[in-house]
A = this chain, B = another copy of it.
Amino acid sequence: MRQSQLFTKTRREAPKDEVSKNAALLIRAGFIHKEMAGVYSYLPMGLRVFKKIENIIREEMNALGGQEVELTALQDSEVWKKSGRWEDKVIDVWFKTELKSGSDVGLATTHEEPLTRLLTEYVSSYRDLPMAIYQFQTKFRNELRSKSGILRGREFVMKDLYSFSRTQEEHDEFYEKAKNAYRNIFNKVGIGQVTYLTKASGGSFSKYSHEFQTVTEAGEDTIYITDEDKKEAANQEIEKPDGGEAHKSIEVGNIFSLGTRFSEKLDLMFADEKGAKSPVIMGSYGIGLGRLMGTVVEVLSDDKGIVWPKEIAPFQVHLLSLTDEAKKLADEVYESLVSQGIEVLYDDREARAGEKFADADLMGIPTQVLIGAKALESKMLEVKDRATGNEKEMTTDNLITQLLTG
């Protein structure tokens, strides 16, 4: 894409009321826009990152055998009253409103209830199980305070996966597979090295749940790393190990054994081979996409701006034309890269080279290609790695080969 066509622009300063690093950088780079505290719109560059994260997660969910659905935000109060979670003292972040008829409706904070009720129409026999169902769906949470940028939104997209099993063993087996899928996701988006599995508080049906916690100063939790090789840690809220160094961290994913808590209350039963009925054993598995994107920014940015890992970068290459004379060569390189299917943001704007360098570093595309006097003379491209700052000279063909094979 030609940057002259992109409607967003970078800005030197974040809005004064924006105290979080992730949102400040993303707003300055033109990736998101703050509508109000905890409510952010995604602009073209930000939406590209968001969709790449979504696709990484979708692949892993499909590999788990997950079937994708999209449930609704508007929630009938009846099913939540049945489960005992309609009251504000039970779920304290409800947004509630009403239909013209006067009926109460809520905006979903999570989806155990509607999905469990829905499945009573499709599950009756052991032959219908096990199953796993997931969605990317907007949640609404009326948080009292919202100062963490996109780490904790009042409106945000969550990938929520739910598993439905016949036996505890079947559930446990899926639960372990989900753990591995989550590992893969955190590795692919570039935070695997600083993300640890911890125990978290359980519920009526299991002693513990599990969380994936990423080490960052922006985190609200504290963990003690107990096994660096296995990437395991202890959450201060649950346990305090003898050793282990304390780190601030943020929960980027949780996996939860729900037992039969919802299936009993909402009557999701299955008959076994002999016709005896039992409640379905459930699990839930959540990842907030904005939170994940914000965590990547918190962990990987430097003093110049964002540093996107290539798997989720909005573009693979940021091509900068630095002088008027360089424009023709830059146009040619742009066409060559695009014709190979490489995603290129081409800074073809009439602007000073210094401004282009600063913007490119702020926006954080992994590979910068600088075309100015030097390139015109040597016919070699200056290729700069955003993360390390290392520069190399190479031909267009070599760059293409590196990008397509790297």
Contact = CB atoms under 8 A, between A and B. Distances in A.
Interface of A: 5-9, 11, 30, 33, 35-36, 39-44, 47, 50, 65, 67-76, 95-97, 99-101, 105, 107, 114, 118-119, 121-123, 128, 131, 133, 138, 140, 142-144, 154-155
A69 B43 contact: yes
Contact of A114 (B35, B75, B76): B35
A72 B40 contact: yes
B71 A41 contact: yes
Given A41-B72, A99-B154, 8 more contacts: A6-B67, A7-B131, A41-B69, A41-B114, A47-B68, A72-B155, A73-B138, A100-B143
27 contacts: A5-B67, A6-B67, A7-B122, A7-B123, A7-B128, A7-B131, A30-B122, A33-B118, A33-B121, A35-B71, A35-B72, A35-B76, A39-B76, A42-B69, A42-B70, A44-B67, A44-B68, A72-B155, A73-B73, A73-B138, A73-B140, A73-B155, A74-B154, A96-B97, A99-B142, A99-B154, A100-B144
A114 B33 CA distance: 10
Contacts of A121: 11, 33
A70 B95 contact: no
B100 A142 contact: yes
A261 to B, nearest CB: 21
Contacts of A7: 67, 119, 122-123, 128, 131, 133
Nearest to A9: B122
Contact of A36 (B67, B73, B74, B133): B74
Nearest to A41: B71
A7 B164 CA distance: 11
A47 B62 CA distance: 14
A47 B70 CA distance: 7
A77 to B, nearest CB: 10
Contacts of A6: 67
A97 to B, nearest CB: 4
A69 B7 CA distance: 11
Contacts of A39: 72, 74, 76
Contact of A74 (B43, B101, B155): B155
Contacts of A9: 122
Contacts of A96: 97
Contacts of A155: 72-74
Contacts of A42: 69-70
The 3 closest A-B pairs by CB, nearest first: A42-B70, A97-B97, A41-B71
A94 to B, nearest CB: 9
A44 B114 CA distance: 16
A122 B45 CA distance: 14
Contacts of A122: 7-9, 30
Contacts of A123: 7
Nearest to A118: B33
A92 to B, nearest CB: 9
A329 B138 CA distance: 44
A97 B100 contact: no
A68 to B, nearest CB: 6
Nearest to A100: B144
A69 B44 contact: yes
Contacts of A118: 33, 41
A70 B97 contact: no
A153 to B, nearest CB: 9
A67 B50 CA distance: 15
Contacts of A107: 97, 107
Nearest to A35: B72
A12 to B, nearest CB: 13
Contacts of A95: 97, 105
